A = this chain, B = another copy of it.
Amino acid sequence: MWKTHITRVEPNRLTVRGRVLDEMIGEVSFGQMVYVVLMGKLPDEKVGRMIEAMLVASIDHGVTPPSTHAARQVAACRAQLTASLSAGLLAIGTVHGGAIEECMILLGHGAMERGQSGKSPQEIAQTIAARAKETGRRLPGFGHRIHTDDPRTKRLLSMAHELDLAGEHVAIAEALVDSLAKVTGKPLPLNVDGCLAAILSDVGVPPELGNAFFIIGRVPGLIAHIAEEQANERAMRTVNPDEAEYEP
């Protein structure tokens, strides 16, 4: 026998992480429920709202991400829905989407150093930025191919502050934007990966679960592209995202 701590299945009774499932239906938000199933406990409503906001922010980024491209290319071959979806998801890993986990580790180290040294977030950020410059390493969670001031990041950070959920990981991330600008001489904005990393860390999610939240939020977007591809485009076509035109 081996143990599972997620869901007890009995006839006419389902218990998820110690709570009766049907009593949560309609009472907790999907954001809270995601936290319940992954973290093992019910978060308060504010954390639930914050997670909903992060899932909403992750929903889609048009045809530019390689995951969307791969999903549409398989959908063009009229595969079963989950086959196209899987092709998209398989593109998400260390490079695409993976910055969340790495940035959480980075911010976690910063927070630990802060706890030990009593330094301010600004001082911690200074050290990290200086070290990055020295080693020539690009920090995960900063900079974006398209956005210089990602509207999702701005909105999520202001929510985190309003809801009083922004803790030291957010503080270090925000300080890093200033430090990186000073050290590198060019603006390196916090991207949405880095933003999720900071907020997820502040609501208690460990780094290895960070990507999960992005993935959960992105699945509906991938499915929308798969459905659109199958409905509107010719079977077996070559999908070229550079030739896509948005039409409302």
List residues of A whose CB falls within 8 A of some B CB.
1-9, 11-18, 20-26, 28-31, 33-34, 36-38, 49, 52-53, 55-57, 59-64, 66-67, 69-70, 73-74, 76-87, 89-96, 146-152, 154-156, 159, 208-209, 211-212, 215-217, 219-221, 223-225, 227-228, 232-233, 235-236, 238-248
**A91 and B64 contact, CB distance less than 8 A:** no
| A-B CB contact pairs (8 Å), 29 listed | A1-B243, A3-B232, A4-B247, A5-B248, A6-B62, A7-B60, A9-B146, A12-B150, A13-B151, A14-B61, A22-B57, A22-B154, A29-B56, A30-B30, A37-B60, A66-B76, A67-B77, A74-B91, A76-B91, A79-B83, A79-B93, A82-B90, A87-B90, A96-B236, A209-B223, A215-B219, A215-B223, A240-B240, A240-B242
Q: How far does the alpha carbon of A79 sit from the alpha carbon of B79 in the complex, in Å? A: 10
Taking the nearest CB of chain B, how far is it from the CB of A72, in angstroms?
9
**B86 and A25 contact, CB distance less than 8 A:** no
* Chain B residues closer than 8 Å to A223, beta-carbon distance: 38, 209, 212, 215-216
Taking the nearest CB of chain B, how far is it from the CB of A194, in angstroms?
16
Taking the nearest CB of chain B, how far is it from the CB of A12, in angstroms?
5
8 nearest interchain CB pairs?
A86-B86, A8-B246, A22-B151, A7-B62, A9-B62, A87-B87, A83-B90, A22-B155
Taking the nearest CB of chain B, how far is it from the CB of A195, in angstroms?
11
Closest to A244 in B: B4
Closest to A64 in B: B9
Q: How far does the alpha carbon of A81 sit from the alpha carbon of B98 in the complex, in Å? A: 11
Taking the nearest CB of chain B, how far is it from the CB of A213, in angstroms?
9
Closest to A192 in B: B14
* Chain B residues closer than 8 Å to A155, beta-carbon distance: 22-23, 25-26
* Chain B residues closer than 8 Å to A236, beta-carbon distance: 66, 95-96
Taking the nearest CB of chain B, how far is it from the CB of A70, in angstroms?
4
